[in-house]
Each structure stands twice: as structure tokens, then as C-alpha cells.
Amino acid sequence: MKKVRKAIIPAAGLGTRFLPATKAIAKEMLPIVDKPTIQFIVEEALAAGIEDILIVTGKGKRPIEDHFDSNFELEQNLSSKGKTELLNIVEETTGINLHFIRQKRPLGLGHAVLQAKAFVGDEPFVVMLGDDIMVDQTPLTKQLINCYDDTNAATLAVMQIPESETSKYGIIDPEAAVNDSLYSVRRFVEKPNSEEAPSNLAIIGRYLLTPEIFTILEGQKPGAGGEIQLTDAIDTLNQTQRVFAHTFQGTRYDVGDKLGMLEANIEYGLKHPDTKDSLKTYLKELLIKIN
Ligand code: G1P
């Protein structure tokens, strides 16, 4: 069985939900306290044992490349001033095996993933969406790799969502429970309205896929929203090889959404050594004020 070594992070989206902030800044560079959201995703990949990461970018995404590159002047400056802690923080973002490719046209998530065909070759791989920050004892990507080690099959992460929100997600039609957290799946449907949704189990931004997905993506017709959908290709893959759904029990922050972004900032701020005490005091005082 081939080891899962590679990850793809699609990051070509325009980030219109955060305009005007994202007019000149890549949405993946928006920070949670002091760390760009994309760094959380890269750290999850590394914590799961991923060795090579391909980031699929588009126009205006150069700051992502610069963020993970070394910055000689900055490092020299911090070093000469003896700011070792900051120097370590800056150096943590370099030396990772990162690769970049451009998605030249915004044709959808399926099309973005297809750009990684040559990078992936004939291996199982993971897709990690930058809008979902996942927190759990075991990183979600590692949980998917553990599933793959058991089943040798593609597996997506899913989570229960309110029925009113099915049209924002890919939704699964669960067939049978394999164990406490794994389902076999009858159907994968992209963004159904609540009347048509086969369940309230939504695909969240982590996928472990087999390379056969690329042949399907090459012939994939546009689906929901006129875009080439990864979910549609996965539904086809499931007809020739099993694709399982793993339920995630941890915490998900939807940082592609304004409220989710605020929640992530507050909760991370409550853990961050520089802000946790003063933020707690501030929030307590604020609660009194707004009640
Ligand atoms: C994408 C996928 C969708 C999935 C969602 C998770 O949609 O197409 O199936 O449920 O991510 O965040 P997007 O949010 O890019 O519209």
C-alpha cells in the first residue's frame, strides 16, 4: 500500500466574502491573531506526516509564496537585535517542501485539484481547503490517513450541519455505518437545497483521494454554480471504488465566513500567551456592557 505523502491546498479563490479586505490581499493571508490562516493548514499537513505540499494559486497570491520563503533582511535584523523568539517564529515558516502552481481560470474546485495531476502522480493524496481550520487531539488529516491505512480507500471528512445550510456544502447520502465514525456512501451531492438533501452530513474541507480521481476530473462537466465540482467527480469515483465518509468530532472554524473568522480569532486569542489574560478580562467587561 502506498504511503500518503502529498497534500494539495487550493488557494486560488477571490475571497469576495471579505471584500474590501481582500481587494489587494490574498484571503489566505488574513490572520488569526498573528498567523495567516493558510499557515494553520500547512501546520496540520505537517503534523499529519505530509512531506510535500502543492498550493494551487491564482492572480494576486504571491504573498503566500513570500510568506513561506526565507526573508534574509528580516532574519538578519531580528538576529542582530537578539530577538531570538521572533526569529524562530519567522524561520518556522521556511524549509517546508512547498510547491506552487497557478490555476489560470477559476473553473471550480474540481478544476483546481486537477492542476495537481502531475505533482501527485500515482499516489493517494489529501486535499485541504483553506477555509476550514480544524482543531482536534489528532489532526483531521491524520485521522483520514488512519482510515486509509485501514480501508485502502478514499475517505472524506464530514460533519453534521443544520438542515437549513445544506446548500452551502457537498452532502452525503450515507449507506451503512462501517464503525463508530465511518460510513459507506450511496451518493455525494453538491450544494442541494434542504428539500433535496439526502442527509445533513456535510463534506468539510478535508479529502483523502486516490489518483483515479484525475481521469474523472478530466472529463467532468460543470455542475452546481456552473463550476467543475470535486464532489461530482467523487460521486463517480464511488461507483468504481468505495469512497468512505469519516465523521469529524473536533471543532471546525469556517474562516471563509466573517463570523467564523471572528470566532477563530477570539478562541485562538484566548489561548495565545500574548493575549489570553487581557482578552479574557476584556471579554468579561464587554459582556457586562452589552447585557
Ligand atoms: C467546497 C466544496 C463543498 C464542501 C465545502 C466545504 O465548497 O465544493 O462540497 O462542502 O467546500 O467547505 P465551497 O465552500 O468552496 O463553495
Task: Return the residue whose CA atom lies nearest to atom 6 of ligand 1.
Answer: 204
Domains located in the chain, CATH noted: 6-253 (3.90.550.10), 257-291 (no CATH)
- Quick one: pLDDT at residue 92? 81
Cell of 164: 437549513
Q: For 215-250, give one letter per residue: b (16+ CB within 10 A) or e.
A: ebbeebeebeeebbbbbbbbbbbbeeebbbbbbbee
> 190: CA distance to ligand 1 center in Å?
8
Task: Return the residue whose CA atom lies nearest to atom 5 of ligand 1.
Answer: 169
> 92: CA distance to ligand 1 center in Å?
29
Atom of ligand 1 nearest to the CA of 191: 9
- Quick one: pLDDT at residue 14? 84
pTM, entire model: 0.94
| Cα–Cα distance measured from residue 127 to residue 213, given in angstroms and rounded to the nearest whole number | 12
- Quick one: pLDDT at residue 60? 86
* Residue matched to cell numbers 505533482: 119
| Cα–Cα distance measured from residue 71 to residue 64, given in angstroms and rounded to the nearest whole number | 13
- β-partners of residue 5 are none
Ligand 1 pocket (Cβ < 6 Å) reads 109, 129, 131-132, 169-170, 190, 202-205, 229-231
- Quick one: pLDDT at residue 34? 95
Atom of ligand 1 nearest to the CA of 256: 14
Which of 41, 131, 248 to mutate for ligand 1's pocket (most ligand atoms within 8 Å of CB)? 131
| Cα–Cα distance measured from residue 15 to residue 61, given in angstroms and rounded to the nearest whole number | 11
> 166: CA distance to ligand 1 center in Å?
11
Handedness of CA 201, 203, 206, 212 (dihedral sign): positive
The gap from C-alpha 254 to its chain's centroid, in whole angstroms, comes to 10
Atom of ligand 1 nearest to the CA of 231: 9
Q: H or E element: which one contains 53?
A: strand 52-57
152: phi > 0 → left, psi -120 to 50 → alpha, else beta; which? left
Atom of ligand 1 nearest to the CA of 109: 8
Q: What is the pLDDT along the chain (291 residues), one digit of tens a residue?
A: 889 999 999 999 888 899 999 999 999 999 999 999 999 999 999 999 999 999 999 988 999 999 998 888 888 998 899 999 888 888 888 878 999 999 988 899 999 999 999 999 999 999 999 999 999 999 999 999 999 999 999 999 999 999 999 999 999 999 999 999 999 999 999 999 999 999 999 999 999 999 999 999 999 999 999 999 999 999 999 999 999 999 999 999 999 999 999 999 999 999 999 999 999 999 999 999 998
Spatial CA neighbour of 269 closest among 248, 250, 286, 289: 286
> 156: CA distance to ligand 1 center in Å?
12
Question: What does the DSSP assignment read for 6-47?
Answer: EEEEE-----GGGTTTTSSS-GGG-EETTEEHHHHHHHHHHH
> 205: CA distance to ligand 1 center in Å?
7
Q: What is the DSSP letter of 165?
A: G
| Cα–Cα distance measured from residue 154 to residue 4, given in angstroms and rounded to the nearest whole number | 11
Cell of 55: 498550493
At 172, the amino acid letter reads I
